[in-house]
Amino acid sequence: MRGSPEERAAVRASFKRMNKKEKAEYILTYYRLPLFTAFVVIVVLITSLVHHFTKKESVLYLANVNIVIGETMTEKMSNEYLTSVGKDPKRTEVLIYHDLYIDEDPSSENHQYAYASKLKILGAISSKRMDLALMNKNGFEQMSASGLLLKVDTLLAGHPELYEKLKPYMTEGTVILEDNSIEYDLNEADTYESVTEQQVNAFDVSSFPIFRNAGMDGKLYIAVIANTTHPDEACSYLEYLLNAD
């Protein structure tokens, strides 16, 4: 309650007689909550404005599966790509998922990490925040078997010139159409059975200069995720990787 006019006048008179220290203590005592609330509102407002004006648009999502790339390669696969296609790295980004490890039969010490990585991959795909995956042979075989990769013919249907450029690198993967893995794991089936199909759904990029010059050993594959929302950008990215060094 505000109090009567006489009470308010008495408070004002008392406040005028206080020294600076007493006035500060009085304000903090009686106005702490309103001041704190105002401070929080201001902080939230400033944070929202900063986030709005500095947030980058993710033009592509790339997952590194069972491989490790350093800062130099990360720069080549993100900002240098953006610059090459006329996009501003200050306003756009290639969002790269690092440290993803999957294995069909991981060792006991890696089991939890592999399980967490698989969940992260499936979560990103489900939310349509993964467009491409760069993988070693093991990663490619598992991603393909799970039916997560887009057929090359579907991806490049509207890009005949790029199709011809990438044709030597096209790779077949095994896709499991159906199986009895659940019954087998529950000991309800004596043997594991599956129906599979071979699909051209990836590219062997082991010989691409950008990777060879970086000293990356072993087989390396890249594929587009089946439910990508950026197919044309993915095609542009593949062409960049083919020509970059």
pLDDT of the residue at 110? 78
pLDDT of the residue at 216? 87
The full DSSP string for 163-181 is: HHHHGGGEEEEEEEEEE-H
pLDDT of the residue at 104? 77
Residue ranges of alpha helices (H) inside the chain are: 5-17, 20-54, 71-77, 79-84, 111-126, 137-145, 152-155, 160-166, 181-185, 209-212, 231-243
pLDDT of the residue at 1? 45
Name which residue leads in pLDDT, 119 or 180.
Answer: 119
Please tell me whether the overall predicted TM-score, pTM, comes out greater than 0.85 for this model: no
pLDDT of the residue at 183? 85
Residues near 83 by beta carbon (within 8 Å), at least 6 away in sequence: 89
What confidence tier does 8 reach under pLDDT thresholds 50, 70, 90? Answer: low
Q: Does residue 26 surpass a pLDDT of 70? A: no
What confidence tier does 162 reach under pLDDT thresholds 50, 70, 90? Answer: very high
pLDDT of the residue at 202? 98
- What is the CATH code for 56-243? 3.40.190.10
Q: What is the three-class DSSP state of 18? A: coil
pLDDT, tens only, 14-23: 666 777 776 6
Q: What is the mean pLDDT of residues 150-157?
A: 97
**Is residue 195 within 8 Å of residue 177, measured between CB atoms?**
yes
pLDDT of the residue at 222? 98
Q: What is the mean pLDDT of residues 104-109?
A: 68
Work out the percent of the chain whose per-residue pLDDT is above 90: 62
Q: What is the mean pLDDT of residues 3-15?
A: 64
Cα torsion angle, 4, 9, 14, 16, sign: positive
Name which residue leads in pLDDT, 98 or 1.
Answer: 98
Q: Which token pair is 148?
A: 């997560």
pLDDT of the residue at 115? 87
Q: Does residue 51 surpass a pLDDT of 50? A: no
